[in-house]
Structure 1
Amino acid sequence: MNKTIVIAALAAFLPLVWSQCLTRNDTARLSADKLYYGQRKFSVSLLDALQKARPNESLFFSPHSTYRALLLAYFGAKGETEKSLKKTLHLDWANSKADVSHAYELEKLARANRREHQTVEFNSVDKLYFSKQVELKDCLKQMFNESIEILNFATEPEEARDQINKFVEEVTKDNIKDLLPPGSISHDTNVVLANAAFFKGNWASKFDKEDTQKKIFYEHSRMPVYVDMMRQRGHFNYGVIEELNTVFLEMPYKGEDGSISMYIFLPVFTVNAIDEFLEKVTPEMLDEVFSGGLQREVDIEFPKISFERKFELVPILKHMGVGDLFESGANLTDFSEKQSLKFDDAVHQAKIEIDEEGSVAAAATAIFSFRSSRPTEPAQFICNHPFMFLIHDQKSKEILFAGVYRGPNE
């Protein structure tokens, strides 16, 4: 591989309903920043929930993809279901769904405009697949006219599943295949909500392949293992989060605006250091890291990474407080007034590859606490034990992907 590739896809499938059109407030000019702030809070909560569900494993997922799919569900929810989703997605800033839909549309427009000028590649696509038997509201058709597709779930469920999987494969350039396994779509399926996202970028400062060596990585509570460790010396944003006994580093991706970077958070190594870090890290701490930074010379050692993860999201999302979203009593009457619908399942799949050429992140880093005198010797940033990493978009202030690396043998 000569690049870093990150792919994530999420689908939530359901039978559903909505009973009242969204009230569109054309005068609303809410900043999408509020939507992104909610997404960052959601990202930390989801990371914590996944960590508890899969302790001692390397993790990788897309908060962006998961959040987008749940937003689609929120637009169709009413009553207590809507209230639970609003709380879980941190949408308390919004007075109505119209405020949220306005921010959602602003984000889509801004992302599309940026795509033409970026040297990194990031593509995220939402889809709402409905059965022919579902009588959709006109306002829903208006809002999602480019994202809605009608499929014949009732008589051709496997063909519908294949079409959805092909959509995911196309967006992720064949990196995520068979997201929905055989039997996941049935004659009773009324709707599938899906988001697929793909990222590819080259490091602004590449590693030299000749410097990559086999070195020891200390896995969580395990014997040391050997990994391909990349090495370089350069000037990077580097800082200390003293409250968490953690150092962090920003690794920017090559791009005209330098707005996407990978942030790596490396706790001082003890047996439970990464677990303690994940329990204590907050959105506010991450915001400080993302908001500014201090450059210094750093010696970096970072492992080549390649792995894929798939999650059954229903128990995780229930733990996060989505209420009755996956129960028979879910109120999804803002999709259609004629059919009774509910979510049946949710699945998330993500894949990452990192090597000397490529990497993932967002521009701008901040320091919680840093020594005032600039040291003359390069800092050491040796990633030979478990760490967390994020791919962050500074312009949108959104966490696109996140992971915890505990070693190669998971």
Structure 2
Amino acid sequence: MNKAIIIAALATLLPLVWSQCLTRNDTSRLSADKLYYGQRKFTISLLDALQKARPNESLFFSPHSTYRALLLAYFGAKGDTEHSLKNTLQLDWANSKADVSHAYELEKQARANRVQHQTVEFKSVDKLYFSKQVKVKECIKKMFNENIETLNFATEPEESREKINKFVEDVTKANIKDLLPPGSIGTDTNVVLANAAFFKGNWASKFDKEDTQKKIFYEHSRMPVYVDMMKQRGYFNYGVIEQLNTVFLEMPYKGEDGSISMYIFLPVFTVNAIDEFLEKITPEILDEEVFSGGLQREVDVEFPKISFERKFELVPILKEMGVGNLFEDSADLSDFSEKQSIKFDDAVHQAKIEIDEEGSVAAAATAIFSFRSSRPTEPAQFICNHPFMFLIHDQKSKEVLFAGVYRGPNE
């Protein structure tokens, strides 16, 4: 069987250019907002699937990356395969692939205009690696242009694997190495969709290293453990999600437009609090009560230093999410090539996060607090000494770049 691989290594798909491959409808009314609303819904679905696959573990992943890796597959899919991917990617607003492409073009232009003014570093690159034996459709070549590269999988599978790994390593600044293990690329490989990204941001309000102390963190169903707990008092966007018994805090990264922030969700501490929160959180709650809610107030914050890495075999997780026959022999990916049969049989995702007093680095390539909705005169307490969820969110693009659940250092 021909082999193809989808890779999500914390990454993105560069926005697509409309081409004659696609039947274009009235796209003037569309915007990237519709695409990213679907991405937020996808984020919650992916988080739920990962949580079920690895219960009681700390998680970290990039919905941004996984979404775009699947979008690459979507643009090559037809028939039932295309329909399943459209549903999984929450693209019901689009009448055609051209609609999606146009929305990405708008986002591409907007992000390009931000790069020169943004002190937060966020680099995303995608690659479509085709075997030299695959005759790629001309419209696909035009659509992806410089993102396509041909490799000689048939005679040089190991060299091809190393080249793809080197691409991921370079984009992620050596944070993700050896993404594809030996033997993952074979002589029958005909396509690899690779996405890699790197993020680095400094806190707008940094923690003082001298205030970091060893403190207890209460892990799920385990004995308390000690972590390096950072501490500061400052003014932050702070809110209460009453129906979820959860408080949240926005910690912005330093930047001229201040649009990228980490949101931390801290449920009232009970044995199963984080699991109950994850079961009930929705995109609507994020939009209505978090990304547009909360009040600026003085808060005493305690937050653990975090450093861990996760790697996921995505095939069973994506099947659980409803990607249909994408990884089966019956998949229709003939929009990539009419001459060769392309089938995907594997998908991997690797993510790494480091959070310290200065800020956060992510690459790929979850208390004692005042649970009150009123505004007391004393500073609120936001002490992350038990499992919590966190998101890195881009307010301008309305996109969740990274997400995680921290259950302690020993997961």
- Separation in 2, partners of 1:160, 1:11: 20
Q: Percent identity?
A: 90
- Separation in 2, partners of 1:140, 1:187: 23
Question: Could you tell me the TM-score, scaled by structure 1's length?
Answer: 0.92
Determine helix, strand or coil for the equivalent of 1:144: helix
Query: How far does residue 280 in structure 1 lie from its aligned partner after superposition?
Result: 0.5
Deviations 1:67-101 (A, max 9, x none): 01000000000000000000000000000011011
Note if contact 1:235-1:296 (Cα within 8 Å) is conserved in structure 2: yes
Report the AA paired with residue 331 of structure 1.
D
Report the AA paired with residue 38 of structure 1.
G
Report the AA paired with residue 150 of structure 1.
T
- Separation in 2, partners of 1:405, 1:11: 21
Determine helix, strand or coil for the equivalent of 1:234: strand
Task: Report what 1:253 is aligned to.
Answer: 253
Q: 1:10 to 1:402 in 2, by over 3 A?
A: closer
Task: Report what 2:313 is aligned to.
Answer: 312
Report the AA paired with residue 128 of structure 2.
L
- Separation in 1, partners of 2:74, 2:140: 12
- Separation in 1, partners of 2:94, 2:27: 14
More RCO (CA 8 Å, sep 6+): 1
Query: How far does residue 113 in structure 1 lie from its aligned partner after superposition?
Result: 2.3
Query: How far does residue 313 in structure 1 lie from its aligned partner after superposition?
Result: 0.1
Task: Report what 2:368 is aligned to.
Answer: none
- Separation in 1, partners of 2:48, 2:390: 14
Q: Which runs of 4+ in 1 moved over 4 A?
A: 24-29, 370-373
Determine helix, strand or coil for the equivalent of 1:277: helix
- Separation in 2, partners of 1:70, 1:156: 26
Q: 1:204 to 1:338 in 2, by over 3 A?
A: same
- Separation in 2, partners of 1:95, 1:293: 36
Report the AA paired with residue 260 of structure 1.
I
- Separation in 2, partners of 1:26, 1:245: 44
Report the AA paired with residue 95 of structure 1.
N
Note if contact 2:128-2:147 (Cα within 8 Å) is conserved in structure 1: yes
- Separation in 1, partners of 2:334, 2:169: 31
Deviations 1:273-313 (A, max 9, x none): 00000000000001121024311110000000000000000
Q: 1:360 to 1:163 in 2, by over 3 A?
A: closer
Report the AA paired with residue 342 of structure 1.
K
Task: Report what 1:129 is aligned to.
Answer: 129
Determine helix, strand or coil for the equivalent of 1:57: coil
Task: Report what 1:266 is aligned to.
Answer: 266
- Separation in 2, partners of 1:72, 1:282: 26
Q: 1:213 to 1:50 in 2, by over 3 A?
A: same
Whether 1:115 and 2:112 are equivalent positions in the alignment is no
* Superposition pairs of residues 207-222 of structure 1, within 5 angstroms: 207-222=207-222
Which has the higher mean CA deviation after the structures are superposed, 107-116 or 141-150? 107-116
Query: How far does residue 22 in structure 1 lie from its aligned partner after superposition?
Result: 2.3
Task: Report what 1:166 is aligned to.
Answer: 166
Determine helix, strand or coil for the equivalent of 1:165: helix
Task: Report what 2:301 is aligned to.
Answer: 300
Query: How far does residue 23 in structure 1 lie from its aligned partner after superposition?
Result: 2.5
Q: 1:218 to 1:257 in 2, by over 3 A?
A: same
Task: Report what 2:355 is aligned to.
Answer: 354
- Separation in 2, partners of 1:26, 1:335: 25
Note if contact 1:262-1:359 (Cα within 8 Å) is conserved in structure 2: no
- Separation in 2, partners of 1:108, 1:350: 24
Note if contact 1:253-1:262 (Cα within 8 Å) is conserved in structure 2: yes
Query: How far does residue 315 in structure 1 lie from its aligned partner after superposition?
Result: 0.1
Note if contact 1:11-1:348 (Cα within 8 Å) is conserved in structure 2: no
Query: How far does residue 24 in structure 1 lie from its aligned partner after superposition?
Result: 4.2
- Separation in 1, partners of 2:157, 2:195: 20
Determine helix, strand or coil for the equivalent of 2:38: helix
Deviations 1:297-335 (A, max 9, x none): 100000000000000000000000000000001000111
Task: Report what 1:239 is aligned to.
Answer: 239
Determine helix, strand or coil for the equivalent of 2:227: strand
Task: Report what 1:67 is aligned to.
Answer: 67
Note if contact 1:10-1:347 (Cα within 8 Å) is conserved in structure 2: no
Note if contact 2:240-2:294 (Cα within 8 Å) is conserved in structure 1: no
Question: Could you tell me the TM-score, scaled by structure 2's length?
Answer: 0.92
Note if contact 1:203-1:360 (Cα within 8 Å) is conserved in structure 2: no
Task: Report what 1:336 is aligned to.
Answer: 337
Q: 1:133 to 1:28 in 2, by over 3 A?
A: farther
- Separation in 2, partners of 1:96, 1:199: 32
Note if contact 2:11-2:62 (Cα within 8 Å) is conserved in structure 1: no
**Number of aligned residues:** 388
- Separation in 2, partners of 1:62, 1:113: 23
- Separation in 2, partners of 1:150, 1:378: 58
Q: 1:27 to 1:46 in 2, by over 3 A?
A: closer
- Separation in 2, partners of 1:134, 1:11: 25
Query: How far does residue 244 in structure 1 lie from its aligned partner after superposition?
Result: 0.4
Q: Which ranges of structure 2 fall in alignment gaps of 5 or more residues?
A: 1-7, 13-19, 363-370
- Separation in 2, partners of 1:233, 1:11: 34
- Separation in 1, partners of 2:194, 2:285: 31
